[in-house]
Amino acid sequence: MHLHRQPPGTPGYDLHVQVIPVLSLSGLVLYALAEAYAVAALRTNRPKFDRAAAWCLGAGLIVHFAALEVRGRILHSVPYRDLPDSMSLFAWMLAASYAFLLLRHRESSTGAFLLPVVILFDAVALATRDRQGPPTPELRGSLFALHVTMAILGYAALTLAFVLAVLYLVQMRQLRLHRMGVLFARLPALDVLDRLQRTSITAGVCALAVSATIGLVRARIYWGTIWDAKVLATFVTILIYLGALASTRLGWKGRRSALLSIVGFAVLLFSYTVVNLFFTQEHVFR
């Protein structure tokens, strides 16, 4: 689809720029409401709170998507120009992956722990966003869009895996110490958490691998070199997670698998923040 270019200063551009904060803020409020209901559901075990949380999450996803869509129209690309943009897209994908868990596995207790991450990233994105014009040619095109989308999808899936791994350790601790509180009753069984976590890792690693492959091809074309701190960090991340998956097959299930997933996430976080901000030469958000 060809989008009409709306340069800064034209009425269409200004309208878009004005509507984004409204949509983003509404999305954030809806996520916060969903979190409030999810916590209430966790504490009281009332189905009506679960339903309310699901509806707020759905509405938040739609409004947030509309904000991303408008931003994409201004940029003529996937909205991934700078760190705030990528954080906002990441928050959306994380919320969407939780919605998937909810629809596919009827697993609602994760929400109260996952949504704070969504809210944090969305809020930081909203607070630090600035208005910017259309991107340079190398940051356009469908291949670039796929590269970005896959990378952020990978991050979202691996964040989900991280939350599930932490919940696994929490649930395991409760079982060992016989602390059978409300949280114990509401969290899923260990084998379910383990399975969901492994599925998330598989999805995340696949998405990252696709993204990295496209990234390498594009790096050859635009930069002339493929060596960059970001590339290195991404490969380390992929390797750790592949190791986690392989070790599961070799018998590192349960606690160790959860710990590996948490280590992998720490590296991912490092790659996403510190490497992005300070180390990478080429892979910066201009």
Partner 1 sequence: MSAVPQAELLLVGWDFRTAPLDLRERLAFTPDAIRAALGNLREEGLLAEGVIVSTCNRSEIYGVSSSEDGDGSRLSEFVARFHGLPEPELRRTSFRHSGAAATRHLFRVAAGLESLALGEDQVLHQVREAFQVAAGAGAARSVLHRMFQKAFAVGKRVRTETALSSRPTSIPGVALELAQKVYEDLASRRFLILGAGETASIFYDLILSRGARRIEVANRTLERAQALAARGGTARRLDEVPGLLAQSDIVVCATGSPQPILKAENVARALDARRGEPMLILDLGVPRNAEAGIAKLENAFLSAVDDLEQIAARNRNEREADIPRAEAIIEEELTEFAAWFGALAVVPTLTELRRRFDAVREEAFDRAIAEMKDITPAQRERLQRVARSLVNSLLHDPTEALKSEPDPLLRVLRAEAVRQIFRLDDERGG
Q: Does 216 bind partner 1 (CB under 8 A)?
A: no
Alpha helix (H) residue ranges in the chain: 11-44, 47-75, 83-105, 111-128, 142-177, 182-186, 190-222, 229-250, 255-270
Pick the binder of partner 1 from 3, 15, 143, 175 (CB under 8 A): 175
Q: Is residue 39 within 8 Å of 46, Cβ to Cβ?
A: no
Q: Does 103 bind partner 1 (CB under 8 A)?
A: no
From residue 73, how far is each of 2, 184, 282 by CA, in Å? 10, 45, 25
Compare residues 224 and 251 and give the one whose CB is closer to partner 1: 251
Q: Does 256 bind partner 1 (CB under 8 A)?
A: yes
Question: Which 3 state secondary structure label does DSSP give 167?
Answer: helix
Instruction: Give how many residues touch partner 1 by CB under 8 A.
Output: 26
Compare residues 51 and 220 and give the one whose CB is closer to partner 1: 51
Q: Shortest approach of partner 1 to residue 38 CB, angstroms?
A: 17
Q: Does 185 bind partner 1 (CB under 8 A)?
A: yes
Compare residues 7 and 47 and give the one whose CB is closer to partner 1: 47
Q: Shortest approach of partner 1 to residue 55 CB, angstroms?
A: 18
Q: Does 190 bind partner 1 (CB under 8 A)?
A: yes
Pick the binder of partner 1 from 88, 110, 171, 211 (CB under 8 A): 171
**Contacts for 271-277: CB closer than 8 Å, 24+ residues apart:** 271/230, 271/233, 271/234, 271/236, 271/237, 272/155, 275/229, 275/230, 275/233, 276/83, 276/230, 277/83
Indicate the DSSP class of residue 253.
-
User: What x/- string results for residues 46 through 65 when contact with partner 1 is judged by CB under 8 A?
Assistant: xx------------------
Q: List interacting residues with partner 1 (CB under 8 A).
A: 44-47, 171, 175-176, 178, 180, 184-185, 187-192, 248, 250-257
